[in-house]
Structure 1
Amino acid sequence: MSEQQPSRAPEPVGAYPYTRRVGNLLFLSGVGPRQRGEPNVPGVEVDEDGNILKYDFERQCHAVFQNVRYILEEAGAEWDDLVDVTVFLTNMQDDFPVYNRLYAEYFATAQPCRTTLEINCLPTPIAIELKCIAALKDKQ
């Protein structure tokens, strides 16, 4: 087993690695849209108490996909190595159609299994988080 901390992905919000390899499987911890070194979440506007005033969900989706790609590349994997994606949304009714459309674009060739769940909230003011598993090729 091995662990790596990607340098282009956002800093974790807790004490955990972004990846953990077991055999030829690469497990990714939950990945959100935050960007490394940036205090604000892309597309999110909050008030002085931290309450979300508005958010650009499409912008968050693009940022999440980019972060997953960064993490995979840092671990020696590729986008097409993804075999399972669990999606956590905080507003299924409004955001799922947008997510589904973008997911179809990003995963036009790669076809991992997918589960989508609505949850009450995430640990930072984000509307989406992905939990992924990749199967690494023999070159690893």
Structure 2
Amino acid sequence: MTTELPVRFIHAPDLGRPAGYSHAAEVRGGRTVYISGQIALDNHGNVVGADDFEAQARQVFRNLGHVLAAAGLDFGAVVKLTIFLTDMQDIAAFRRVRDEFVNTAAPPASSAVQVAGLVRPELWVEVEAIAVGP
């Protein structure tokens, strides 16, 4: 399912072309869904990928996918991601996983920050999202 969005992704011509994200996303009507930060827990509350960053990131995106589906949307509806990493050295691995899920031709606006820790010490990544649907 590809979601038709009332969104225009913007790249400022006076800035360098961003790698894997858009400078901005303009919403022109539609409904907005704010998705709480998702972490690498399965539906039983168990950590997925306790020793594997990419496994954790994939579980985070699977969890985001479940929330999007519950809202009647898919990853094509995502206009903004906020990424929390406990180690910014994991950003390249994060991007590899992210690109398996989001539209790389029109990627969402994004912010990434390094944090001292997440809700559980064995977790390394959390992602929240904003999606727009018809």
TM-score normalised over the length of structure 2: 0.72
- Cα distance in 2 for partners of 1:42, 1:81 equals 25
The residue that corresponds to 1:25 in the other structure is 32
Q: Amino acid of the residue matched to residue 90 of structure 1?
A: T
Displaced runs of 4 or more, over 4 A:
none
Instruction: Quote the offset at 1:77 in angstroms.
Output: 1.5
Instruction: Please say if 1:112 is aligned against 2:108.
Output: yes
Instruction: Quote the offset at 1:127 in angstroms.
Output: 0.5
Instruction: Quote the offset at 1:100 in angstroms.
Output: 1.6
Q: Amino acid of the residue matched to residue 106 of structure 1?
A: F
Q: After superposition, where does 1:1-140 map in structure 2 within 5 Å?
A: 24-38=31-45, 40-44=46-50, 55-93=51-89, 95-107=90-102, 108-124=104-120, 125-137=122-134
TM-score normalised over the length of structure 1: 0.69
Distance verdict in 2 for CA 1:103–1:134, change over 3 Å:
same
- Cα distance in 2 for partners of 1:78, 1:120 equals 31
For structure 2, list consecutive stretches of 5 or more residues without a partner in the other structure. 1-29
The residue that corresponds to 1:13 in the other structure is none
Q: Amino acid of the residue matched to residue 129 of structure 1?
A: E
Structure with more relative contact order (C-alpha pairs < 8 Å, separation 6 or more)? 2
What do you get for the CA RMSD once the two structures are aligned?
1.4
Q: Give aligned pairs, total.
A: 103
Distance verdict in 2 for CA 1:73–1:91, change over 3 Å:
same
- Cα distance in 1 for partners of 2:100, 2:43 equals 25
Equivalent pair of 2:75/2:101 in contact (CA under 8 Å): no
Secondary structure of the equivalent of 2:118?
coil
- Cα distance in 2 for partners of 1:110, 1:123 equals 31
Percentage of matched positions with identical amino acids:
31
